[in-house]
Amino acid sequence: MPTALIADDEPLLIAALTERIRAVWPALEIIAVAKNGIEALSLLSQMQPDFAFLDIRMPGLTGLQVAENVRNTRVIFVTAYDEYALAAFEACAVDYLLKPVSDERLAQCIARLQREAAPKADWPRLNRELTASNSPSYLQWLTASLGDTTRLIAIDEVRYFQATEKYTEVVTLQGRFLIRTSLKELLPQLNPQRFLQIHRSYIVCLPAIDRIEKDLLGRQAIYLKDSTTTLPLSRSHAAQFRQM
């Protein structure tokens, strides 16, 4: 029976991908999951699965760094790189799935894994190609939960993020959803041309802002377009808007 490992720093993504892979390839046994690159490399060395589905951006080691140290496992990258950069994966004979992964694309990838022998990946070339062809890779989508429902949310839908005691709320026009990623971890993954932190508990989407107002006590608030929502703007973050 073929075996596989899945590595991603978002547990919901691991669960969703595991379920979908099992539906497409019931004979494939998922024998391990990892939440960061270091754990992935350790498990791969110990268990030697036939396949590894690796996120590219993970804490500790990137998916590329893990793959370069794997010898007997066929690597499939699950990546948010844009379509232009994916030419590098094609040229270097590397299997990949582009997030968000469609059912059709997953089925095509599984069919290729079942049909073809592992290609010889050109890791040095891949690193050069990705470095040359890509600006920083920012989040394009995320997986969030609302009750028992898990939803795939495009970053373009997000109006703001709000930190709560245990979670981060993702607020869109369609509703409020929860993710486990903190604002501190989330901010470097967001395009700074589109998102700014305005308070220790808030990150706002710049195109969603209508205006900034100051009250009699000098406190500033951000008003969002198409709603009555206002968000606090702390003094320590207000300078960002004066520089624009």
Torsion of CA 162, 152, 141, 182, to 10 degrees: 30
Q: What is the pLDDT of residue 44?
A: 93
Residues paired with 26 in a beta bridge: none
pLDDT band at 95 (very low <50, low <70, confident <90, very high): confident
Strands 195-199 and 95-98: unpaired
Of 26-30, 140-144, 180-184, 197-201, give the lowest mean pLDDT range: 140-144
Q: What is the pLDDT of residue 137?
A: 66
CATH class of the domain comprising 141-242: mainly beta
Q: Could you tell me the residue ranges of all domains in the chain?
A: 3-133, 141-242
pLDDT band at 135 (very low <50, low <70, confident <90, very high): low
Q: Is 90 exposed, middle or buried (0-12, 13-18, 19+ CB in 10 A)?
A: exposed
Residues paired with 209 in a beta bridge: 224
Residues paired with 197 in a beta bridge: 203
Contacts of residue 164, defined as CB under 8 A and 6 or more positions apart, other chains included, come to none
**CATH classification code of 3-133:** 3.40.50.2300
**Residue 174 pLDDT > 70:** yes
**Residue 99 pLDDT > 60:** yes
Contacts of residue 230, defined as CB under 8 A and 6 or more positions apart, other chains included, come to 221, 222, 223, 224
Higher-confidence residue: 82 or 74? 74
Q: What is the pLDDT of residue 131?
A: 64
Length, in residues, of the chain: 244
Give the chain's largest Cα–Cα span: 70
pTM exceeds 0.95, yes or no:
no
**Structure tokens of 25?**
């390839």
Distance CA 124, CA 93 (A): 12
Q: What is the mean pLDDT of residues 40-52?
A: 93
Higher-confidence residue: 214 or 84? 214
Residues of the chain with pLDDT > 90, as a percent, come to: 43
Q: Round the average pLDDT of the chain to a whole number and report it.
A: 86
